[in-house]
Amino acid sequence: MHKCLIFLLFMMIFCGVSKAQSAEPTDPKATEDWSRRPTIVQSLKSSSDIPSDAIILLNQDQVNWIKKDGTPTDWTFEKGVLTVKPGSGDIISKASFEDCHLHLEWRSPLIVKGEGQGRGNSGIFLQSRYEIQILDNYNNETYYNGQAGAVYKQHPPLANACAKTGDWNTYDIIYKAPVFDLNGYKVSAGYVTVIHNGIVIQNNTEIVGTTEYIGFPKQVLHGGAPFILQDHGDLVSFRNIWVRRL
């Protein structure tokens, strides 16, 4: 009797597998996806172009950045270049963002002053909490999870792709925001890919939590939030900043 039950169970499983296999589609159209048509976006022809669906945060005519108190920024703006005014404080984007592709170009001061973290230091904070470090690391050593392109104090970059001191650097940042439930529990981590001067230096890197100068990353419930450009006391300049929501 016991053997009969085992045989019957085997036949039921076998028949189920055979039935699933027989359901394999024979029409190629059965696996075509017509549910979402990709948006048509004008491609880039040169480094000065922006995609047709991008939101301009900084160009020759627009400075869509403000102080944290909502007043206009007093950073220096000349010929499309925005430069930190040391001591004036960080600035934030007027709009908030979550998943996105962020493009920005930055330049360290031509005159070299200091070393380590004291040379051309700034940062771009995603959702106001997660810093991608900006630093002059051309012939300048520092702790590796604090150099240019690091997820600050979490992940060193895969390579040092810094341009010569005083030359322009380009970041393209592809960001997947973390997701929290209604109780504030993080159900999905944030991830970031950073391309520095055409070189991948962060490859779908997990963001552990908030980037802290002292202490360990923290988990903070949040939604969309502005970008922050950091005033670290150095004359770092920016140009051609745009973002695409993903």
Residue-range domains of the chain with CATH: 55-245 (2.60.120.560)
CA 243 to chain centre: 10
Give the integer Cα–Cα distance in Å for 111 and 93: 28
Asked whether 217 and 209 are in contact (CB, 8 A), the reply is yes
Q: What is the pTM of this model?
A: 0.85
Among 139, 149, 140, smallest CA distance to 118 is for: 140
CB atoms within 10 A of CB 221: 12
103 phi, psi to nearest 5 deg? -115, 130
| pLDDT interval class at 20 (50, 70, 90) | very low
Write the pLDDT tens digit of every residue in 138-161: 999 999 999 999 999 999 999 999
Burial of 83 (0-12, 13-18, 19+ CB in 10 A): middle
Write the pLDDT tens digit of every residue in 98-109: 999 999 999 999
